[in-house]
Amino acid sequence: MDIPGLPARAAALRLLDAVLRRGETLDQATHNALQNVRADADRALARAITAETLRWLTDIDALIDSATQQVLPEDAKPRAVLRLMLAQWLRLDTPPHAIIATALPLLSGGPKRLAHGVFSTLNKRGVRLPDAPTLPARVVERWRARAPAIAAALGEPPPLDLTLRDPAETEQWAERLGGVSLMPGHLRLPRGEAIENLDGFADGAWWVQDLAAGLPARVLGAGEGRRALDLCAAPGGKTLQLAAAGWQVTALDISAKRLERLRQNLDRTGLTAEIVAADALKWEPEAKFDAVLLDAPCTATGTCRRHPDVLHRIGPRQIAEMAELQAALLARAAGWLDPGGRLVYAVCSLEREEGEERAAEVTLTRDPIELPGFASTPEGWLRTDPGMAANGLAGGGMDGFFVGAWRA
């Protein structure tokens, strides 16, 4: 059936199923779900439909349930198709006739009539989504008092944050790129422009890095030729920061494939680092370091602005698995410091089990974090979340991170 736009909707349906039924990330699911979608515009549309569906899933389901006599099962195909239809109408401003023409062919028989009837009913009612997405109940239970502010920040995808190779050129690049700077060496731009087309990309003047993701390396400050280990380094934003700040960096990651992207960015920026592909739980350094930065594998719930799948994939089992790995990595990292050396631990997670609870187990001397514009917790940790205004600038927020620091 040759219907324009249908391949993108069929791919979005596959993506949604991969996330909600199989627990895959959007990135993991993209290859298989979109392999028969050739046009870049259709591939981008499939991702956009799925992301907006996941971002607003709780509210979209409530609308569906308000227009059916019997609640559709969670995994029923008509519910999945209706989710995509409503996301297109209410979030992407797709005309209803185009939605019906490209969604109903995904169903047959009674389910097709059901989906058409529910969508038409909601369309006639003129329903709308709330100002901010409603988080899943289990997420609200975990995030507690922080949940409303985080939810308010999830209504729109995040802006584009850049880290500059030379912080002294911040004002110059802000003017050239038309961005705003929230701290030296940082720029924030609107979404939409292809990264490769931006001024300074080919010259390696900057790299893409969320504002919060750049904070852990900032904690270590200037390297002045000292040795630093970036543990679990790929894709390499923190390695680039450390190298640009004058550290002699060893970048270690278990994934040789992901390290290839780091090599490309080092080549592009003209920065240098020693790259090691190894398992941090088995690897042993030849000498100890002045600093170790451990940006540990985690559930990545702090990236929910750009990866709304984490709102629905992550639960107690995944959190417990990550916490166990983080504890093991922290124990090894703490032993690789020279006397007086600094350990910085970071996770892009909003879960206490991965942040505060892991930090409480470290036996080194706590080194309270002080970064201009960011308030530390009473314990001296740094905790960001998507609902925070960035250095006094409201709007856009930042990823959720936990950062702790210690001295040997």
CA 153 – CA 396 distance, rounded (Å): 7
Backbone dihedral angles phi then psi of residue 9, each to the nearest 5 degrees? -70, -40
Residues noted as catalytic: 348
**pLDDT single digits (tens) 291-347:** 999 999 999 999 999 999 999 999 999 999 999 999 999 999 999 999 999 999 999
For the chain, how big is the Rg over CA atoms in Å? 23
From the CB of residue 405, how many other CB atoms can be counted at a distance below 10 Å? Answer: 27
Between CA 243 and CA 172 the distance in angstroms is 21
Parts of the chain with a pLDDT under 50: none
Please tell me whether residue 157 adopts helix, strand or coil conformation: coil
Residues facing 228 on adjacent strands? 249, 291
What is the pLDDT at residue 188? 94
Closest of 224, 191, 333, 207 to residue 270, by C-alpha: 207
Beta strands 274-277; 248-253: pairing state: parallel
Best CA proximity match to 245, nearest among 164, 345, 336, 337:
164
Q: What are the tens digits of pLDDT across the range 81-134?
A: 999 999 999 999 999 999 999 999 999 999 999 999 999 999 999 999 999 999
Q: What is the pLDDT of residue 393?
A: 55
Q: What is the DSSP letter of 243?
A: H
The tokens describing 144, both together, are: 């507690």
Within 13 Å, how many C-alpha atoms sit on residue 18's CB side?
20
337 φ, ψ to 5°? -100, 140
Entry pTM: 0.94
